[in-house]
Amino acid sequence: MNEFELIARLTKALPGNQTVVTGAGDDCAVLDFGLPDKLFLFKTDAVVEGVHFKKNTPPEKIGRKALARCLSDIAAMAGTPAAAVVTIGLPEHFQPEAVEKVYGGMSGLAKKHGVAIVGGETTANPECLFISVALLGTVGRGKQILRSTAKAGDAIFVTGELGGSSAGKHLDFEPRLAEARWLAENFPVHAMTDLSDGLAGDLRHILAASGVGAELLKAAIPISRAARESARGNPFRKTALTAALADGEDFELLLTVAAGDAVKLLDAWKKKFPKLRLSCIGKISPGTGVTLRDKDGVRPLTVHGYVHFA
């Protein structure tokens, strides 16, 4: 049983209450506590030694990544982060100075984005270091952007460049908070998520939630230099395109807008964010599944993103 099969099994009978606007199945839960102009976003995420970082990773970068992953999910809903609590599990013979550096990495990123770290839990975990962050944020009432509202005919966009994140980006990425809020304020974005499991995987999350399919244009997919360099001259490694589709941990935004807004969005984006690439990579289609169009025609996309337990 892989990660998403297990999640589906565990979440099918979860209890709810009157505060729940959107529960399990999107980037964040959306909660209504009765404020006239705001809804709350709630998210938790974890990083585990040997899965999300190596034993010799600088502790400041471990802490930064632990918080940044949650910030990226708040961005995916076009929200603003507010406060976090942190649970850290420490192996035997841990070094207090290293733990302080972990918190230093979190604190630096938290200050940058106006996030308060308001508590948490410390516990022993004999096997390895892990950190779990729960983050609370806000979004304007009715302004949250979900995965489940993509429409046939939409243009598909992605920020930045994809693939090769293990070369360093997975530790140093910038959560696209400002960009997501700008998008929500200036364009009717239909659906959005962040790219944590890879384009091929996260696009399928949008499609499954929205009940639609997609066609990607191979030539338009923005492949990073790291992905190209990894693939160059090594026939036994995955291709650069496969890396861009499946590596994961790019933490860019994946979004859909009406086709009629595509050109206006590209023009406005270039003026607002001249240093960050925005690419139109395909379209939402009726039906189900993902296809890839190249010079030889259209074929089913068989690549999938990263999946735990697979």
* Residue 148 within any structural domain of the chain: no
- Check pLDDT > 90 for residue 136: yes
State the residue range of the domain holding 182: 155-300
**Beta carbons within 10 angstroms of residue 121's beta carbon:** 10
% of the chain with per-residue pLDDT over 90: 90
Which residues neighbour 83 within 8 Å (Cβ) at sequence distance 6 or greater? Answer: 115, 116, 117, 118, 135, 136
- Check pLDDT > 90 for residue 234: no
% of the chain with per-residue pLDDT over 70: 98
- Check pLDDT > 90 for residue 196: yes
From 140, 166, 195, the end of a domain falls on: 140
* Residue 309 within any structural domain of the chain: no
Do 182 and 272 lie in a common domain?
yes
* Residue 307 within any structural domain of the chain: no
Residue 114, SS3 per DSSP: coil
- Check pLDDT > 70 for residue 236: no
- Output the pLDDT for position 128: 96
* Residue 308 within any structural domain of the chain: no
Question: What value does the mean pLDDT take over residues 65-76?
Answer: 98
| Cβ atoms of 163 and 247 closer than 8 Å | yes
